[in-house]
Structure 1
Amino acid sequence: MVMARRASPSLPAAALLLLLMQAVSGQRVKVIPEVTAYPGDEVSLRCSFVDPNGEVKKSQVTWIRDLYHEKKQNIAVYNPMFGESYPESSIKGRVSFRTSSLDDPTIVINPVKLEDEGSYICEYATYPSGNEEGVTKLYVLAKPVNYGEAIQVQEGPKLVPVARCVSSSGKPPAEISWVSSFPGNITTENQTNPNGTVTVNSTFSLVPSGLIHDYVITCQVHHKTLATPEKFNIKLNVNHSPLVSISGYDDNWYLGREGASLVCQSRANPPATSVTWKAANGKIPDSVQVNGEILQVKKVDPSVNTTFICEVTNSMGVSQRELSVFVRESPPERQVDNAGVVAGAVIGSLLAIFVVGGVLAALFMCRRRQRNYRDDHGTYDTKTRVFGAKNNGTGVGTLSYKYCESSSEANTEKSSNNFHVPPLNYGVSVAPTAQDILLGQELDDVEKSKFSMLEYDENYDRFDENVNENRPVLQIQDHDCYLDDDMESQRDGSVISRTAVYV
């Protein structure tokens, strides 16, 4: 017999009795319709007769047990004149009235056994209505004993049970479920015991192989006596031949490399008994040293360029794994990450675009500044801009210069009058200086150096307001003589003297 904890009511007895009696208010004999107990507990079966007006005469109360397929049994009788009586029954000696009264003919069964489960009838003998009754169903629960275990099997092609979960001697029968990361077949069987309890046997089946050895599946038992399901983690136990793998080869074995090695790894149940290294050509190279599962290469040479075989043995059989080694002449060049190359190319392209854009923007701004300068000071003749003739108030300027064919010949003086010069704004010359030309990027570096020297060596004449207005704008130094190559053409089509002084 399975002993279980004593049940404790969740509500006060009086409140529970009142609640259940209200559910069967259609009759005058009030009972609790269902009562639950555990083996070994003490249980009370309550009963009372409701007669508010006192019109019914009660003469006797009898408790009867309904054995379903058998004849009913009287288990307890109370008569006010004759007292209590307990006829022969399966619970005689364990049943009694709580009080000797027709108002409260409650009986107590102690201790409860599993076979006590059934229907109990409280019957009143009354006048003038005759016999009236109420029925209480007694349920006796048995907490099962549960466990889970692995079934040791051998690898093979057939479906076999690999785990078992059992819920023994429970009442009512337990429910069993499985939790697994891989599918399997579940078979459940119920067996009724002589005392009325039920044993539930559930198995989990699949095709066993070495791949599932040591994997864990979970069995869960659900029962009315358990607040939460009881769980069992079961580690599968499959006998299998070794599962072999080789690690350590990085595809970078080059001539002269030292410290290269291979490791033979295996899983086997039962454990492996031996590990053997072989070479495909039949001989392990002299530069290779074998130490159990490890194949150590002292120094890589051409003889290592072969296929190595690792062979593992246990009681279930022999398994092997091959690995081909490729010996390189030298270490492979460092591989550049394609993503890094692409990212570098994109960044470089963007930087190049920014630099070129900056240069173009600078050139554009310089050109625009020159154009704005010319637009602000009006248009003028190219030669006038270059020579910088001064307006004499009539719109005509004079230019005077000396010219020599050679240094040995006499100087020949030439003059040019009536050279038209446009009116100047604000009474100042608009001809750009050598510095302006340099800033405008009109000349190259060689020309820039020439103009720098001219600005340093030449002396510029100044105008005197008291001097005749017809005085020449350009004054040539007496001691200078201009050669044939003194005049130099410019990029804008004008001609300018290398040594003349411009005002």
Structure 2
Amino acid sequence: MARDYVKRCPLSSTKNCCFVTAAILLIIQAASCQRVKVVPEVEAYPTASVDLRCQFVQGGDTKLTQVSWIWEPVEGQRDNIAVFHPTYGESFPPSPFNGRVSFVAGSLNNPSITITNLTMSDAGRFTCEYATYPIGNAQGTTNLVMLAKSKNSAHAVTVQASSDGRAVVVARCVAADAKPAANINWLGLPGGTENITAVQAPNHTVTVTSEYQLAPTASDNGKELTCIVSQRIQGPPQSFTVKLSIEYLPSVTIVGYDQNWYIGRTDAVLTCQADGNPAPTAVTWSAVSGPMPDTVQIDDNKLIVRKVDESVNTTFVCEVKNRLGVSKNQVTTTVIEAVEDPSNVGVLAGAIIGSLLALLLVGALIAVLVTRSRRQRRGYPGNGEPGSYSNKVRLFGGAGNKNGGPGANNNGPVYTYRESDPGPLVEKGNDFLHRGPPGPAPTAHDILLSSELDEAERRKFDALDDSLEEEEEERYDSFGVGMAPAYHIHRHDEEMGGVSMYLDDDMESQRDGSVISRTAIYV
């Protein structure tokens, strides 16, 4: 039909006729392809199985004669892997799929196949092709995509501490044999850099390697880095934590010397502490002055001085070794004279402190006794309050004015004690206050000592003291039993230097209607 169309084309337009012919052929081929139904793309994993489906869509009087499966791993290569003929049956030409490929139903209407134990190299184009009459061959192609989850791992790279600041690889993370390729990220130490490489294998898998580079120091040993691997088909990202392994020479310190090595001290100890990677394997002690003193004992990393003497007045050296080399440190010990036996220091200190406390207690007790004795001599009880009067009422009043004369009735202090209301003697205008417990009656002189009276009253009661004593003896016997004697003080103007002790206004009215003298003493 195409040849007849070309014959009818004018010679002047031969080129255009060729284009039209090619288009017609493509349309015819597309129409034939549309009759074969396949799945455009299938994904599978290694060691798994896959079904490749194929079906011919009947139309018109097309006769099916044979169906074949053709594998194209790369462009330009075609291999028959399975053939089905309605008369001759199934056939499997030699191919990489021998023993792993089979027909599902084994018929022209359903020539689907199954491939087992897949490998990454099985990926490619699989074409289901029908031989028909009268339209010729009809086909459909399925693209088999092989996927592989990455095989992830991470580890530290043992390196020596950098002395020149040069960065080296300290950790490595690998996502191997992956399709599609995986992504790698690092978390952890700042200041490092990442170097990523990707290598594709013949089976189209990709291995991604990420190396973490750092200028390592001894302090970086044991620190942690985290590698995070992510891939589209593996699900959540995987993380791997690695501890850095940085090798370094031992770091040596000596502890235990307290600068108090006095002669006679026992069991002084020096300890050699070392840290290194790899771990230290040997510790050696020596003395700069020569052989180790006889009083010194070595116990692994400890130097023990059983008794301090002049022989340990030297410098001790501790030497530590590991696979990388040797490091050392030293300490100079100075022996001093013993001032006193340190075992008696605590006893002596306790004795001194106890003596001081005893002296303080005795002094405090003496002070209290002296103070109480003085207060009692002044008419004060032990509690520091003024002494109380007897259980009778005593009144003193009539203080003079500032010129020495008598004052008003209510100007002088009134001192009183009532038996029903105990309390210390106080002054409060003309009122009578009741104070503390009854006791021996104080004399006028005692009251003066209490600093409750002014200067005029003090002079008055100094003169009264002597006369009261005489009159008390003369009058006491004149009173009967059960009667309270009263002491009346007569005027002695001449004896008192012209000062009148009792004036007309000496008498004072009371609330109950009675009149009493302000200067008389009632017992």
> Under a length normalisation based on structure 2, what TM-score does the superposition of the two structures give?
0.50
SS of the aligned residue for 1:112 comes to coil
Aligned to 1:10: none
Alignment partner, residue 358 of structure 1: none
Aligned twin of 1:41:
48
* Rounded Cα–Cα distance in structure 2 between residues aligned with 1:301 and 1:288: 10
In structure 1, the residue matched to 2:385 is: none
Residue 486 of structure 2: SS of its match in structure 1? coil
Q: Does 1:261 align with 2:259?
A: no
What's the CA shift string for 1:14-35, capped at 9, x where partnerless? xxxxxxxxxxxxx886544443
Aligned CA distance change for structure 1 residues 283 and 71 (closer, same or farther; 3 Å)? closer
Alpha-carbon displacement from aligned partner over 1:324-348 (angstroms, at most 9, x marks no partner): 66778789x99xxxxxxxxxxxxxx
How far apart are residue 499 of structure 1 and its match? 7.0
**Distance verdict in 2 for CA 1:306–1:132, change over 3 Å:** farther
SS in 2 for 1:264: strand
Between the aligned partners of 1:442 and 1:259, the Cα distance in structure 2 is 78
Question: Structure 1 residues 147, 434: closer, same or farther in 2, change over 3 A?
Answer: same
Single out whichever of 138-147 and 229-238 deviates more from structure 2. 229-238
Return the alpha-carbon distance in structure 2 between the equivalents of residues 154 and 309 of structure 1: 26
* Cα shift readout 1:64-103 (whole Å, capped 9, x = no counterpart): 4444532455555557688656566553554333123455
Aligned match of 2:521 in 485, 500, 503? 500
2:125 counterpart (104, 116, 119): 119
Determine the C-alpha separation between the residues in 1 that align with 2:414 and 2:426.
Answer: 16
1:188 is matched with which residue?
Answer: 196
For residues 478 and 146 of structure 1, do their structure 2 counterparts lie closer, same or farther at Cα, with a shift above 3 Å needed? closer
Structure 1 regions of 5+ residues with no counterpart?
Answer: 1-26, 335-384, 390-415, 423-429, 458-474, 488-495
CA distance in 1, matches of 2:76, 2:208: 28
Tell me which of 229, 245, 262 is aligned to 2:253. 245
For the pair 1:319 / 2:306, whether they are aligned, the reply is no
1:126-137 equivalences under 5 Å are 135-137=141-143
Once the two structures are superposed, what CA deviation does each residue of 1:28-49 show, in whole Å capped at 9, x if it has no partner? 8654444333333321122446
SS of 2:97 mapped into structure 1: coil
Alpha-carbon RMSD across the aligned residues, in angstroms, is 5.6
1:7-406 matches, cutoff 5 A: 31-48=38-55, 59=64, 63-72=69-78, 75-76=81-82, 90-91=96-97, 94-101=100-107, 103-122=109-128, 135-142=141-148, 148-157=154-163, 158-178=166-186, 180-181=188-189, 184-213=192-221, 217=225, 236-249=244-257, 257-269=265-277, 272=280, 274-278=282-286, 288-299=296-307, 308-323=316-331
Contact residue 171 and residue 198 of structure 1 kept, 8 A: yes
CA deviation vs aligned residue, 1:229-271 (integer Å, no higher than 9, x gap): 6666656555543221223346776676533312112234555
Mapped partners of 1:155, 1:183: distance in 2 = 16
Does 2:464 align with 1:477? no
Per-residue Cα deviation, 1:139-194 (whole angstroms, up to 9, x for no partner) = 22445655555545444434333444455544444545555556544333333334
Larger radius of gyration: 2
Residue of structure 2 equivalent to 1:453: 440
Q: Which residue of 2 aligns with 1:19?
A: none
Aligned ranges 1:424-443 → 2 under 5 Å: 433-434=416-417
Q: C-alpha separation between the residues in 1 aligned to 2:312 and 2:491?
A: 89
Supply the distance in 2 between the matched residues of 1:305 and 1:92 (Cα, whole angstroms). Answer: 90
Query: Relative to 1, partners in 2 of residues 1:454 and 1:251: Cα closer, same or farther, differing over 3 Å?
Result: same
In 2: Cα distance, 1:89 partner to 1:78 partner: 16
Deviations 1:435-457 (A, max 9, x none): 789569669xxxx9998534999
Provide closer, same or farther for how the CA distance between residues 260 and 497 of structure 1 changes in structure 2, counting only shifts above 3 A. Answer: farther
Q: In 1, are the aligned partners of 2:67 and 2:85 still within 8 Å (CA)?
A: yes
1:63–1:315 CA distance, 2 compared to 1 (3 A): closer
Determine the C-alpha separation between the residues in 1 that align with 2:417 and 2:186.
Answer: 99
Partner of 1:242, secondary structure, is strand
Relative distance call for 1:312 and 1:81 in structure 2 (3 A) is closer
2:47 and 2:119 in contact (8 A); partners too: yes
Question: Secondary structure of 2:522's partner?
Answer: coil
Q: How far, CA to CA, are the matches of 1:278 and 1:481 in structure 2?
A: 111
| SS in structure 1 at match of 2:521 | coil
Distance 1:481 1:65, change over 3 A: farther
CA distance 1:296–1:386, change in 2 (3 Å): same
Q: Deviations over 1:173-220 (max 9, x none)?
A: 454555555654433333333444444444444345544456665556
Whole-angstrom CA distance in 1 between matches of 2:422 and 2:60: 138
Q: Rate the CA distance shift 1:440–1:419 in 2: closer, same or farther, 3 A.
A: closer
Offset of residue 226 of structure 1: 5.1
Q: Which whole-Å CA distance do the structure 2 matches of 1:57 and 1:137 have between them?
A: 27
Secondary structure, counterpart of 1:453 in structure 2 = coil
CA distance in 1, matches of 2:335, 2:292: 15
> Is contact 2:73–2:122 with CA below 8 Å preserved after alignment?
no
The answer to whether the 8 Å contact 2:126/2:141 transfers is yes
What TM-score does the superposition give when structure 1 sets the normalisation length?
Answer: 0.52
Amino acid paired to 1:187: N
- 1:179/1:139 CA distance change after superposition, 3 Å: same
- Give the aligned residue type for 2:115: I
Q: Is the 8 A contact 1:58 1:124 kept in 2?
A: no
Give 1:312 deviation, angstroms: 2.0
Q: Which moved more, 1:104-113 or 1:55-64?
A: 55-64
